[in-house]
Amino acid sequence: MPWPTPQDYNEAVQNPRSVFVDGELRSGQPELDRLGLPRPRSGSFACVYKIECPGRAWAAKCFTTEVNDQQERYEAIDRHLAQARLPYTVAFGYQPQGLRVKGRAYPLLKMEWVRGVSLSAFIGDNLSNPALLGALAKKWLAMLKALQQAEIAHGDLQDRNVLVVGGDLRLVDYDGMFVPALAGRFSNEVGQRNFQHPSRTNIDYGPYLDNFSGWVVYASLVALSDRPELWHRYQGGDECLLFRRDDFEHPETSAVLRDLNRSANGNVRVLGEFIAGLSALSMLGVPALEVVHGAVAGDGAIPAGGGAAAEWWKDHTGEPPTKEQAGVGRGGGPDVGWIVQEVTGPVERARFQHSLKGIRVVAGSSFAAVLVTGFAAGLPAVAFLGFGLSVLAALALYCFAQYWGDPSLIEYRLFKQALAELVREVGGKRNQRKLLEEARTEVVAGMAAAQTDWNHRRRQVEAELQEEMGRLQGRLTSGLRLLDERRRSIAAHEAGEWRALQVGLSDRIAELEREIAALTRKATRHIVSNGNGDKPLVMVPDSLKDYLGAARFVSETAETIKECGIATGLAWTPVGGEILFIEATRMPGKGNLLLTGSLGDVMKESAQTAVSYLRSQAKLLGIDLTDYANYDLHIHVPAGATPKDGPSAGVTLVAALASLLARRRVRSDVAMTGEISLRGRVMRVGGIKEKVLAASRFGIKQVILPDQNRADWSEVPEEVRHKLGVHFIRHIAELLPLALREK
């Protein structure tokens, strides 16, 4: 479904009573801007409005895009936060249909409005108070430790989502929060880029999410407490505290990291180097901040050898380090190198195990013996020189053999081999890591492409659905309009019929009253003239003629049908059923059709349909129409002063015309009703009960009804059903054998 835009929400929130479902929000008013309009805090996929309600304020978060499994996530987060009861979170409630915009319901997140300042605003206001920033850094450590112990990760730690309330920290905006119940899912967001690991994607979703951003905020607080001028130099508060994404992606060219590395404070230098190295680690490899809790630079409480190193040593040995152990490093910061020395022990230089003193004595004695022997023997200089060199070569070989076979040198060679193997192993691990990073990049790219394709298909389906809904809405609107017009037409027709009935009944009642008055006068005159005033006058039907004159109305009867071209039909009137005779004749002419008897449009169309059907099926019905063009047809319904109309005379019209054209009389004891189509189908009509009662009243023996009215036969009184024979027909072909006599 299409989601509202921020402008749609701005217009809707102006009237809380009509847009919100929650009773408390309905009673509130939105915070307004200088123009008197609701003031939104817009994000990537939501708008947040401050609603001032009696006694407290709420944040109403209105979503502008669909978020997968949103309701399940918020319910899981709500349950876990209720169990953890941390002082850093605020109350909230997810309402799946919390507000209505343009007649449709959309989800709403109702969260307690926290009256505080953002982390960046607090830092900017307190740059001149390093002790306060140092204390805030300690509170930051405590908050992250509590989150870690509760297995909670906020997922988007940044300056706008962290508020300082009375010196304490509060977290808002839980869209990307992780709790154990959500393990195994993907994240719906990747956080603010200037606080997050450069390689973070939607795949990264676990309790480690806040490790990197926790270090970023902590390092910023420590650095600013020592060097507040960095805030303005690197535009702190402009979507960052101190670091930006480029500093994480290219630490070797980062100006802010260079500044930290040149700091006189050892803690600041160490943090700068640590931040520079975090980007080389994977998201899972970034350590949690709560495991490092040394003293904070700038708080005036950094003793030599104190801080994290001293506490670590005490935790692992049970004794504090000595002054000799805990030296002071460069810049006055604690030197933690002594930990390595104490843990590994002193490193001794390698020494030869063979004594060189004996080798020197043997070599000197041998060379002296060569000189004495040469001089005593009077050897030539060349021979003397050759003999001396041979002795020196032998001594050199002996010394080399002693050196090469010394255990220290053997151990050194083994160490070099192990080192080479370790280097190869590290290289292999690096290659594996590179392959894993490439595979991860490929997976992320594939996911991004799939997400893009899915979004495209979703938008396409939504557009198609919207178009189809538009068409259906148009058809529905058109149908409703036609239905409304038909309803008004029927209502007007019924009103007219009712008025006509009232007028007719009034006239009949008035006429009846006049007849009764006339009858009373004549009866009184008769009594007086005969002198029988003491005897009652008894009237019988035969004596009415003497008082009222001849009968003015004669009821039609079935026996009046004696010619071809006449058929008995059944009609419905507001005062009950009636029979009517339809007469048809032909005369020389040009094939025209003449209709008389005050017929309405519906009956005229039925007559034309009957003629067209008989002409099209003349051969099958045995009707000769070879000279049809030489004659005109005339259809008349007697009592021309009475208007007649309705969709039930088609069958009777066909019977009358077929009787005329086939020269076969219609049965006198048969009456019929039903509408027809051009294909000869007999269709359902109304008023069956009244029509059948009229047929029985006028002496009809058999009735022909549409098969679709079979269920209406049960409404006819049982005694009438026993008196009449009934034939249900589906097609005109079934009518003629039942209605027409043989020639």
Q: What's residue 70's pLDDT?
A: 86
Range of weakest confidence among 31-35, 240-244, 351-355, 419-423: 351-355
- Best CA proximity match to 3, nearest among 64, 68, 71: 64
**DSSP element (H, E) containing 347:** none
> Of 548, 567, 599, at which residue does a domain stop?
548
Which residues, at least 6 apart from 348, have a Cβ–Cβ distance to it below 8 Å?
none
In a domain, 122, yes or no: yes
The answer to whether 682 and 705 have CB atoms below 8 angstroms apart is: no
Do 585 and 448 share a structural domain? no
Angle at Cα 442 formed by Cα 437 and Cα 445, nearest 5°?
125
pLDDT tens string 319-337: 666 555 554 444 444 444 4
Indicate which CATH number applies to the domain containing 666: 3.30.230.10
For residue 1, what pLDDT band results from cuts at 50, 70 and 90? low
Residues 6+ apart with CB under 8 A from 689: 577, 712, 715, 716
The amino acid present at 614, given as its one-letter code, is L
Residues 399 and 410 in one domain: no
- Three-class SS string for 131-151? HHHHHHHHHHHHHHHHHHHCC
> Are 534 and 490 found together in one domain?
yes
The count of domains in the chain is 5
Same domain, 482 and 369: no
Q: By residue range, what is the domain housing residue 516?
A: 406-548
50-61 pLDDT, tens digit per residue, is: 999 988 899 999
**Domain annotation covers residue 526:** yes
> Rg for the chain (alpha carbons), in Å?
55
Return the half-sphere exposure (C-beta side, CA atoms, 13 A cut-off) of residue 374. Answer: 17
- Does 455 lie in the same domain as 565? no
Claim to verify: residue 99 and residue 126 sit in the same structural domain: no
Identify the pLDDT of residue 731: 93
Distance, CA of 514 to chain centre = 76
Judged by phi (left if over 0) then psi (alpha if -120 to 50, else beta), residue 646 lies in left
Alpha-carbon distance 146 to 481, whole Å? 64
Beta carbons within 8 Å of 325's beta carbon, 6+ residues apart: 305, 313, 338, 342
3-state helix, strand, coil in the chain (%, to 5): 50, 15, 35
Instruction: Output the CA–CA distances (angstroms, integers) from residue 617 to 589, 610, 621, 622, 625, in the order listed.
Output: 22, 11, 6, 9, 11
For 612-667, the pLDDT digits (tens) are 999 888 888 778 887 788 889 999 998 766 778 788 899 999 999 999 988 889 99
Distance CA 295, CA 307 (A): 5
Mean pLDDT of 474-485: 87
3-state SS of 52-73 is EECCEEEEEEEECCCCCCHHHH
In the chain, the percentage of residues whose pLDDT exceeds 90 is 38
The average pLDDT across 86-112 equals: 91
Q: What is the CATH number of the domain that holds 65?
A: 3.30.200
- In this structure, the answer to whether residues 76 and 132 fall within a common structural domain is no
Average pLDDT over residues 159-182: 92
Report which of 178, 168, 173 is spatially closest to residue 192, judged by C-alpha positions.
Answer: 173
Residue 245 clears pLDDT 90, i.e. is over it: yes
Q: Which band of pLDDT confidence, cut at 50, 70 and 90, is reported for residue 297?
A: very low
Shared-domain flag, residues 29 and 66: yes
For 20-44, write each residue's pLDDT tens digit: 999 999 999 999 988 889 999 877 7
Q: Residue 710: its pLDDT value, please? A: 92
Q: What are 523-542's pLDDT values in tens digits?
A: 777 777 776 666 676 777 76
Q: Looking at residue 607, what is its pLDDT?
A: 92
- Short-list 704, 651, 658, 691, CA closest to 675: 651
Tokens 């899915």 sit on residue:
454
Amino acid, res. 74 = Y
Host H or E run for residue 580: strand 576-588
pLDDT digits (tens, 9 = 90+) for 105-131: 999 999 999 889 999 999 999 999 999
User: What number is the average pLDDT over the span 463-469?
Assistant: 86
Per-residue pLDDT at 492 exceeds 70: yes
SS3 467: helix
User: What average pLDDT does this structure show over 64-84?
Assistant: 88
Selection from 277, 280, 284 nearest residue 201 by Cα: 284
For residue 332, being part of any structural domain is answered with no
Residue listed under structure tokens 């060219």: 253
- Which DSSP letter does residue 715 get? G
Token couple for 154: 């906020």
Q: Tokens 């939607």 correspond to what residue? A: 202
Position 457 scores a pLDDT of 87
Can you read off the two tokens belonging to residue 141? Answer: 């450590």
Amino acid 407: pLDDT = 76
Inside any domain, residue 68: yes
> What is the pTM for the complete model shown?
0.49
Which residues, in sequence order, are bridge partners of residue 672?
A: 569, 704
Cβ atoms < 10 Å from Cβ of 677: 13
- The residue among 586, 690, 676 whose CA lies nearest residue 628 is 586
For 220, phi then psi, to 5°, come to: -65, -45
Q: What percent of the chain has pLDDT over 70?
A: 83
Tokens of 378: 């009077």
Q: What is the pLDDT of residue 343?
A: 43
Q: What is the CATH number of the domain that holds 191?
A: 1.10.510.10
φ and ψ at 109, to 5 degrees? -110, 120
Tokens found for residue 197:
């690991």
166: left (phi over 0), alpha (psi -120 to 50) or beta: left
Contact by Cβ (8 Å): 671, 579: yes
CA atoms within 13 A on the CB side of 599: 24
Rounded to an integer, the average pLDDT of 663-687 is: 91
SS3 183: coil
Asked whether residue 566 is assigned to any structural domain, the reply reads yes
Q: Is the pLDDT of residue 308 over 70?
A: no
Q: Are residues 626 and 721 in the same domain?
A: yes
pLDDT, position 673: 94
Which residue type is seen at 171?
L
Q: What is the pLDDT of residues 554-585, one digit of tens each?
A: 555 555 667 899 999 999 887 778 888 999 99
Task: With respect to residue 310, please indicate whether it lies within any of the assigned structural domains.
Answer: no
Among 385-389, 571-575, 720-724, the minimum mean pLDDT is found in 385-389
Kindly state whether residue 428 falls inside one of the protein's structural domains.
yes
**Helix-helix angle 732-739:650-662, to 10 degrees:** 60
Is residue 408's pLDDT more than 70?
Answer: yes
264 DSSP 8-state letter:
S
Is the pLDDT at 347 greater than 60, yes or no? no
Same domain for 417 and 490, yes or no, is yes
Contacts (Cβ under 8 Å, ≥6 apart) of 641 = 598
Residues 500 and 596 in one domain: no
Same domain? For 96 and 125 the reply is: no
Query: Has residue 388 been placed in a domain?
Result: yes
Question: How much is the pLDDT for 334?
Answer: 45
